[in-house]
Amino acid sequence: MMRKTMAALLAIMLLVVSCTKEFDPDVPVDPGTPNNLKKLSKISYDDGSYLAILYNAAGKPSKITSVVKTSNGDDTNVYQLTYNGDKLVDMALNDGTKYKYTYTGADITKVEVVTPNNVVIAYYEYTYKEGRLWRTDVFSSFGGPIGTTPGMRFEVDYYTNGNIKTMSTWYKDYTSGVLEKTDVYEIDTYDNKRNTSLLFENNPYLPSLIAIPNNPLTEKHFDKTGQQYASVTHTYTYDDLGNPVKRKTVIKETGLPDDVSETTFQY
């Protein structure tokens, strides 16, 4: 589900779960039928919220519409994406906010969040390791001018096949000014089917930045002391080409009742 901050978006798909079967996620897996050209057009959540995607003639996302159901009605955001050749150069929100992208070679290394009055209120810096996004540092004007210490940080490690292995999160203590590690999300197992949704659910501000081949099955969530406090299990229904069309998620968190949700995918 789309959110207005990158921090929330980065955390969505990294829900945490315990292992339910023997599986080695580091073994190369088949992402689906070779002739599978279907593109994801809509992600629907069981509370009525949804994310809709349109594509340009080159097959790249050109418009993303997010509708989030709230007690006060629908919270609707529309994102228009502009490219220069293969590169995403800016994305405009319907309230006039823009996201402007900077590249080093083929890699996005910075994105600025710019208000309708042309003021930069936040920016994200991206660091790569072995050809994959490794670190995201988030700098914002929360509580005053944009500082030199990031307010948030995310580090991602991968299995050799490109699936995410862990994500660690840091948040700034605004009293001490120190960036502190808070959580570690560990994804244990994946299916062998094509993942179509992560780049939108996990990072719609940068839909070309993160893609993984398969769908997470089981994950674990640890606090800063290394204590596991939550687990999540995903189960999927697929079409005849191996694309997920339904996902059931069960979140088990210490001291809370199970949280069960269902997501559907249209192509």
Helices within 196-257 (DSSP H only) = 198-201
User: What is the average per-residue pLDDT within 98-126?
Assistant: 95
**CA dist., res. 23 & res. 198, Å (int):** 21
The 10 Å CB-count burial string (b at 16+, else e) for 236-257 is bebbeebbbeebebebbeeeee
DSSP strand pairing (244-253 vs 259-266):
antiparallel
Residue 258, amino acid? D
Answer whether residue 190 shows pLDDT above 70. Answer: yes
Q: Quote the CA–CA distance of 251 and 230 in Å, as a whole number.
A: 7
> Cα separation of 123 and 267, whole Å?
33
Q: Could you tell me which residue, 51 or 202, shows the higher pLDDT? A: 51
Where does the pLDDT of residue 175 fall: very low under 50, low under 70, confident under 90, or very high at 90 and above?
confident
Its CATH architecture, for the domain 6-266, is Beta Barrel (2.40)
Using CA atoms, how far apart are residues 148 and 126, in angstroms rounded to an integer?
Answer: 15
Per-residue pLDDT band for 16 (boundaries 50, 70, 90) equals very low
98 has a pLDDT exceeding 50: yes
Residues 6+ apart with CB under 8 A from 81: 60, 61, 62, 63, 64, 88, 90, 91, 207
Q: Residues 175-198: what's their mean pLDDT?
A: 93
% of the chain beyond a pLDDT of 90: 74
| 44-83 pLDDT, tens digit each | 999 999 999 999 999 999 999 999 999 999 999 999 999 9
| pLDDT > 50? residue 11 | no
**To which H or E segment does residue 177 belong?**
none
Decide: 36 and 243 in contact? Cβ < 8 Å: yes
Q: What is the arithmetic mean of pLDDT over 90-106? A: 96
